[in-house]
Amino acid sequence: MIKVGQPAPDFTLPAHDGTSLSLASLRGAKVLLWFFVEANTPGCTLEGRGFRDHQSYFDESNIRVVGLSFDSPEDSAAFARRHEFGFPLLSDANHAVALAYGACSGPDARYPDRVSFLIDENGAIERVYDQVDPRDHPARVLADILGV
Residues acting as catalytic residues: 44
Calpha distance 101→23 (Å, rounded): 13
Burial track 14-33 (b if 16+ CB lie within 10 A, e otherwise)? bbbeeeebebeebeeebbbb
**Bridge partners, 21 (sequence order):** 13
Residue 11 backbone phi and psi in degrees, to 5: -160, 160
Calpha distance 140→26 (Å, rounded): 23
Burial track 44-53 (b if 16+ CB lie within 10 A, e otherwise)? bbebbebbbe
